[in-house]
Structure 1
Amino acid sequence: MCSRRCRPRTRRLLMFDFTRFRRLAAAHWAEYRRAYAWFFGIGMIVQFVLVLIILSMPHGYTSLGNDGQGTIYFCGLFLTAPIFAGRYFQAMAKRESALVLMMRPASIFEKWLLAIIVIALLYPLVYTLAFYVCDVPAWLIAASQVQHALALLPKDAPEESTYLLRSTSYTLFVVWQPMHLWQFLGWNLMLAPFEAFAVLGSLYFRAMPFIKTILAAFFVLLASIFLSAIFDSNPAAFFGFWDDHTKLAAWQMVFFPSVWFGVPLLLWLSCFFALQEREIV
């Protein structure tokens, strides 16, 4: 009897209608577009201030080479993406707004799918565009300062003094150019668990979800470090899997990809079931 009753409910949870999904996306955009604009605006202001501080320091332009731009990009992405993801279901923190969100005419699958599209796909793209709005002017200023510093150097200057002023080190950082496809995939798979964990915390914890999610992430990090120390594991081999996996053992060639793909998948599935628990029956 239970299986027969559960089948219609399961089908209702997994239903997908493109027209209804499009309306859900339009309603979400109309409600949160100002909040998203403020989020990216504050992020761009922080980056502008950071760049101005770097350029105002003596020889600060040496920190805005290709590697420096890449460091700013990935640090900003890995810091802001979980925050953005944790705020996606912020309406769940209040009972009144949670009721409005759950009563929208859309299935749980459609709401979950929209969250994945906005968080895992659209956010990195928009973040990249916002990053270049700040990065391109900073790169142009740094490159001009490098040319000015090179012009002031004597012709017989030793190579050590021109090491940080090589023109090849001050090219514009391009996200997809320095790394091949496997490395790009590795960076995205590394980011996905942070985003999914933030979403899961915002859905699982009913009160103070942001603080509790941070505490949970801290304890998970401590447990990971503790287990790594006990079993004397080699994290460098795991995190370097996408760079060079020719020297790995056979079991590592199977286990490492399973973890890379399995952890984000399990976390996003956990988000689906956590969202299902909030459904109004």
Structure 2
Amino acid sequence: MFDLARFLRLARAQWSEQRRTWLWFLGVTLILHFVLLLIDVLLSDEIGRDHSFTHAGQMGIYFLGLVVTAPVFAGRYFLAMARPESAGVLLMRPASLFEKWLLAAVVVLVAYPLAYSLLFNVLNVPMALYAQAAHEALAASQPVDSRNAEILGGMDYRVFLPWQAFEEDGAFATIFLMLASAQGFAVLGSLYFRAMPFIKTVLAAFLLLLAIILSNSLVGSHGRPFLEFWGSEPLQDWRHAFLALAWFGVPGLLWLASLFALQEREVA
């Protein structure tokens, strides 16, 4: 069912055929990031006061880009399945069904977040250093007893590095599982819907999001018990088992469903 040499040949073939598409996707992501930073600089009166370039602001931009682009990339991995002429070639490759699914999981769950983090630093590090220098110059120009000096002194302009987002307990598991759920949903939609899979997946995600927001508003919890699972004092009653099942079961079931959806395509 799984052969390492065959899996590596499949990975090389996939990279040879899709590298331009993947690099273009990363390039467009980089350009959009640059445009957003440029607009923020142009609209800011003084970059030394801009909260977008603080340590927390950089972290927010990093997660926003990752949460938006990672599911889009995942939904485009099996884009060839939407075209009958290319779907047959993909399904007839000399590799097992599990190997094709596993390669998709590795590329989507591991390779893309790493590549995105690397590209994020390409733009973020120089901009953050520039903002830090502007902040120090602005703080030095303010009177010692002024209110502005107090405000500027409390702003943290350290350069944000992606691994710093996982320093808190449970942060890595929280981010990975939530992102894996979104990516698994995107992959499943791209395989389940035969016609216009991207549009239908986006529509299904929108309806699901509305349902989650509506249910949270009716219950009134606003997702707090769900996030408290990773707290320093996790729930000890039946809710702990239920939340553990939800955290690990949802992404697992979504990716397992994508495996069966790929199998249905291969059988068809």
Out of 179, 186, 189, which is 1:198 matched to?
186
Out of 36, 60, 64, which is 2:22 matched to?
36
SS of 2:98's equivalent in the other structure is helix
Q: Deviations over 1:85-111 (max 9, x none)?
A: 000000000001000000000111000
1:227 counterpart residue number: 215
Note if 1:253 corresponds to 2:240. Answer: yes
TM-score (norm 1): 0.89
Out of 134, 159, 162, which is 2:149 matched to?
162
SS of 1:26's equivalent in the other structure is helix
Q: Which ranges of structure 2 fall in alignment gaps of 5 or more residues?
A: none
What code does the residue aligned with 1:98 have?
A
Out of 174, 178, 194, which is 2:161 matched to?
174
Aligned residues: 264
TM-score (norm 2): 0.93
Counterpart CA distance in 2 for 1:189 and 1:42 is: 26
Matches within 5 A, 1:237-248: 237-242=225-230, 244-246=231-233, 248=235
Counterpart CA distance in 2 for 1:19 and 1:194 is: 30
For residue 164 of structure 1, report the CA deviation from its aligned partner. 4.1
Whichever of the two has the greater Rg, that structure is 1
In structure 2, the CA distance between the partners of 1:205 and 1:23, relative to structure 1 (3 Å rule), is: same
In structure 2, the CA distance between the partners of 1:138 and 1:271, relative to structure 1 (3 Å rule), is: same
1:5 counterpart residue number: none
C-alpha contact 1:192 1:264 (8 A) present in aligned 2: yes
Counterpart CA distance in 2 for 1:177 and 1:207 is: 41
CA RMSD of aligned residues (A): 1.7
Deviates more, 1:174-183 or 1:103-112: 174-183
C-alpha contact 2:54 2:158 (8 A) present in aligned 1: yes
In structure 2, the CA distance between the partners of 1:269 and 1:247, relative to structure 1 (3 Å rule), is: closer
C-alpha contact 2:234 2:240 (8 A) present in aligned 1: no
Q: Which ranges of structure 1 fall in alignment gaps of 5 or more residues?
A: 1-14
For residue 163 of structure 1, report the CA deviation from its aligned partner. 4.3
SS of 1:177's equivalent in the other structure is helix
In structure 2, the CA distance between the partners of 1:157 and 1:237, relative to structure 1 (3 Å rule), is: same
SS of 1:156's equivalent in the other structure is coil
What code does the residue aligned with 1:253 have?
H
Out of 64, 68, 81, which is 2:70 matched to?
81
Matches within 5 A, 1:85-104: 85-104=74-93
For residue 250 of structure 1, report the CA deviation from its aligned partner. 1.7
C-alpha contact 2:121 2:161 (8 A) present in aligned 1: no
In structure 2, the CA distance between the partners of 1:128 and 1:164, relative to structure 1 (3 Å rule), is: farther
For residue 273 of structure 1, report the CA deviation from its aligned partner. 0.0
C-alpha contact 1:62 1:142 (8 A) present in aligned 2: no
For residue 156 of structure 1, report the CA deviation from its aligned partner. 2.1
Counterpart CA distance in 1 for 2:179 and 2:159 is: 23
C-alpha contact 1:62 1:164 (8 A) present in aligned 2: no
Deviates more, 1:147-156 or 1:162-171: 162-171
1:47 counterpart residue number: 33
Counterpart CA distance in 1 for 2:220 and 2:34 is: 42
SS of 1:265's equivalent in the other structure is helix
C-alpha contact 1:202 1:213 (8 A) present in aligned 2: yes
C-alpha contact 1:103 1:280 (8 A) present in aligned 2: no
Note if 1:19 corresponds to 2:5. Answer: yes
2:258 counterpart residue number: 271
What code does the residue aligned with 1:151 have?
A
Q: Deviations over 1:90-138 (max 9, x none)?
A: 0000001000000000111000000000000111111100000010011
What code does the residue aligned with 1:174 have?
L
For residue 231 of structure 1, report the CA deviation from its aligned partner. 3.8
Counterpart CA distance in 1 for 2:132 and 2:52 is: 11
Q: Deviations over 1:194-244 (max 9, x none)?
A: 0000000000000000010011111111222233334444412212432x2
In structure 2, the CA distance between the partners of 1:212 and 1:163, relative to structure 1 (3 Å rule), is: farther
